[in-house]
Structure 1
């Protein structure tokens, strides 16, 4: 593992090897409709869930797939996973997550322009239009600035987005990049039947066929002792690509726009095999919790940012009635979240 501003796979121009043929698909995970008729869309990359639109009422079903965000939810707190995946409780949009969505959209759209025109001024000029599109597709984000009649907070927020976009140009040179894919939905089914899915921000492929997976983060880079946790998402994506194409990505790259750092890691097959074993153990714990209804909260400092405190026993709340059939567990048997693997 190393920190670098240099890329391994595709910093140079020229032709790239197409990888989309076996990797393309829909651009988001969409869970079945809630009992109240709303539809919840979960975007794999940042994992933000929002209630949007209306749909026919359908029965709640047990989860059948796993994304990096949902895996992270369960490892952080099994009850949070239940609230988001089983109960599909609505969550308020956050300024930070929405800013991340906006910046991602700008960086994606910038590559529509010819290489010579991919400049910082052009990228920043895309922000107003992408913000308009975001408000149209997700009207709930307007609530973020409902108490800002003069638009001062919105102007400052948009200025922060501009700073993040501009900082990216000091980390990568888009005039020398020709991504093979942007915002690429990937899905692979393991031998166990578990489906892994997610959305990769950018895939670069060198003329030699080497693959680099790139993810943009609008926050700050983690301290070295937490870097492994940050790389979990990238190794997840690498595993999916390997399962689909039998190609181990040459490099995994996290671009932290908040701090101006680039974290890179060159995986080997053993890394991906370890991640697969971990995900299988994690999925087994999720299935047991789904069947038994035993979703235990795991209190941490992150609880202060959770939207679901009113339903959490740790804060005196009561979870909604469990909407799935329960399996009776014999006394003394081990099941549920306690068997979830720990980060290593």
Structure 2
């Protein structure tokens, strides 16, 4: 293996052995979907150096984080304290007072989060701990190395089940679990890591207690993995073009539409600013305001 000098910097650049397989492309489901949703936002979020300053955290994100953290921390409590009512204090401890209109709105939504968590935990068996909580999972397929973190991994009747908490104010749709790329990739990763089939995925809507589930087949999981690999190929090509041409690359056009009014990098995107006025930090607390693709929790 030899070294040559980079034309632009004069620094030595290590060359790969001839015939070596291409390097793995590391990504998460959120990174892949960011490219699909809007290449411009993908570039600003993952490639630009320095990264453009994102807008302040929104209220629905603060709400979702507090609920997720409470449901995670509940399993760390001693068994005699692992009661549904314990969720109230866990939410209070995890509460983030950011993005709300004022202190009164924050307090009202903290109380709502506490009610949701207590109601949800009332349907959870404290003597049946999950196989994993906020477990990092990964797999390699072809040139893609995918890594993500799942909210909860259950084992039921000797089957592994991926559970994802949702806290948005909009109810779930029937196909949300079936069509979710992240859930399918998490199931594939669990299967690979635990060497045990994992086909069932579930979305648990904490505010309503609704559970939407889907049982994949090995073939449908393979199709989802192939979809991720296809997106990763596009991402690798875009990343390489950015490394060569920087912001002059033409592979990062903005996708202008309703989601632009929610975008964290809107201030740095003139095209996105034409989509309409920016949503307030607490707009997503009203379900009628939020397009489904903008729900982040």
User: Alignment partner for residue 259 of structure 2, among 279, 302, 308?
Assistant: 302
For 2:116 and 2:135, how far apart are their aligned partners in 1? 22
**What does 1:78-227 correspond to in 2, within 5 Å?**
78-87=39-48, 88-91=51-54, 92-115=56-79, 117-131=81-95, 143-144=98-99, 148=102, 151-169=103-121, 172-192=123-143, 194-206=144-156, 209-219=158-168, 220-224=170-174
Instruction: Map Cα deviations across residues 95-127 of structure 1 (whole Å, 9 max, x no partner).
Output: 111111111111111112355643221111222
For 2:177 and 2:110, how far apart are their aligned partners in 1? 29
Structure 1 residue 65, shift from structure 2 partner: 1.9
Structure 1 residue 211, shift from structure 2 partner: 0.7
State the number of aligned residues: 240
The normalised TM-score by structure 2 is: 0.72
User: Alignment partner for residue 212 of structure 2, among 263, 269, 273?
Assistant: 263
Q: Secondary structure at the match of 1:199?
A: strand
Which residue in the other structure is 1:138 paired with?
Answer: none
Contact persistence 1:115–1:174 (CA under 8 A) = no
Contact persistence 1:239–1:275 (CA under 8 A) = no
Contact persistence 1:66–1:196 (CA under 8 A) = yes
Structure 1 residue 81, shift from structure 2 partner: 1.2
Structure 1 residue 178, shift from structure 2 partner: 1.1
Contact persistence 1:67–1:196 (CA under 8 A) = yes
For 1:215 and 1:256, how far apart are their aligned partners in 2? 9
Structure 1 residue 316, shift from structure 2 partner: 6.2
For 2:197 and 2:53, how far apart are their aligned partners in 1? 37
Name structure 1 gaps, 5 residues minimum: 1-62, 132-140, 318-344
Contact persistence 1:203–1:211 (CA under 8 A) = yes
Instruction: Map Cα deviations across residues 298-344 of structure 1 (whole Å, 9 max, x no partner).
Output: 22321111122232242469xxxxxxxxxxxxxxxxxxxxxxxxxxx
Q: Secondary structure at the match of 1:203?
A: strand
Q: Secondary structure at the match of 2:85?
A: helix
**What does 1:11-50 correspond to in 2, within 5 Å?**
none
Contact persistence 1:116–1:175 (CA under 8 A) = no
Structure 1 residue 182, shift from structure 2 partner: 0.6
Structure 1 residue 143, shift from structure 2 partner: 4.8
Which residue in the other structure is 2:29 paired with?
Answer: 68
For residues 74 and 224 of structure 1, do their structure 2 counterparts lie closer, same or farther at Cα, with a shift above 3 Å needed?
Answer: same
For 2:221 and 2:155, how far apart are their aligned partners in 1? 19
For 2:204 and 2:210, how far apart are their aligned partners in 1? 6
For residues 76 and 267 of structure 1, do their structure 2 counterparts lie closer, same or farther at Cα, with a shift above 3 Å needed?
Answer: same
Name structure 2 gaps, 5 residues minimum: 1-23, 242-248, 275-297
For 1:227 and 1:186, how far apart are their aligned partners in 2? 19
Q: Secondary structure at the match of 1:144?
A: coil
